[in-house]
Amino acid sequence: MTEDQSTARSTSSVTPHRLYAEFEITPSESIDCPLDELNGEITDINQQFVGNDCHTDTTVTNSPATVDGSETTDTDVPATTDTPEQGVVHSKQQFGSMCHCPVFLEHDCIPQTTVFNDDHLIVETYLPDRERLSELIEALKDVTAGVSLRRLSRIDDIEGEQSTTVTLELYDLTPKQREAATKAVAAGYYQTPRETTIGELADELDISKSAMSQRLNAVESKLALAAFR
C-alpha cells in the first residue's frame, strides 16, 4: 500500500444510511439544467458529481436530434415509427446557485433522479437519520420552487442479514399529516418496541399530544384505505 493510499483510507468515513426518501421537486425557474434542452422522452438518468461539475448520461427515446447530434425540426420526425430511436446523451455543467444537487451532497446524500418532467422531477436518496432529513428538506426549500416528500422508508437490522423495513406512501396526505408521518416513521414510532412517544413527537412539532394523535390517526386511516383499494 502506498503512502497516498494509506492517507486516503485513514480520512475516509463510513456511515450507515437507514432512511430512504423519495422527493418531488419543482426546480427554480432560474436554474439552467442541460436536461431541459433534450427533446424526447427521458427514460434513464445517470449522474456523477466531480468537484463543482455535474456529469449526466441520459437515455432519450424518440429524439433523433439528440441521438445523432444533427439539427432536425419537428417536420423531420415521422408521425409514427415501429422502432423508436434511442440514444445516450452526455452533458457536463457546473452547479448553479439554485441547483438542488449540491444541497444533497452537502448533507452527505447522493441524489438519484428517477423521473424528469416539464414541471417537476422525482429524486430519491438515502440518509443517516431524521435530523438529516429535516435539515435537507429545509435546505431544499431555499433553492427550489417546491419540495415534498412522497415516500419514506426506514430500514433496521435485526440479526445478521435479516432486516425489517417500514414504508409510508405519502402521496394522498395533507401537508400537516405528511409532516407528522415523516417525523413518526423517522423517529422509530412504528418500530417494535417504539423508540419515541406521541408526546415527544408533539413537542418536536410544537403541537399538543391530542393534535399529534389525531394527525397520526388520520394518516393511518388513509394509508389503510389506500392499501386495500
Mean pLDDT (the chain, rounded) = 80
Compute CA distances 46 → 52, 123, 227, whole Å. 17, 12, 32
Report whether the peptide linkage leading into residue 193 is cis, meaning its omega lies within 30 degrees of zero. Answer: yes
Among the residue ranges 53-62, 70-79, 89-98, 136-145, the one predicted with the least confidence is: 70-79
What three-state secondary structure class fits 44?
A: strand
pLDDT of residue 11: 65
Amino acid at 184: A
Where are the alpha helices (H) located in 11-168, listed in sequence order? Answer: 64-68, 101-106, 130-143
Q: What is the pLDDT of residues 130-182, one digit of tens each?
A: 788 888 988 998 999 988 888 888 877 655 566 667 777 787 888 899 888 88
Sequence-distant (≥ 6) Cβ neighbours of residue 51 within 8 angstroms: none
Domain borders along the chain are 32-95
Burial 152-189 (b: 16+ CB within 10 A, else e): bbbeeeeeeeeeeebebbbeebeeebbbbbbbbbbbbb
pLDDT of 173-220, one tens digit each? 888 998 888 888 878 888 778 889 999 999 999 999 999 999 999 988
Q: How far is CA 176 from the centre of its chain?
A: 20
Q: How far apart are CA 28 and CA 77, in angstroms?
A: 31
Q: Which helix (H) or strand (E) segment is 212 a member of? A: helix 209-227
> Does residue 76 register a pLDDT over 80?
no
Asked if pLDDT for residue 6 goes beyond 70, the answer is no
pLDDT for position 75: 38
Residue 79 has pLDDT above 50, yes or no: no
Q: What is the pTM (predicted TM-score) of this model?
A: 0.68
Place of cell 432519450: 60
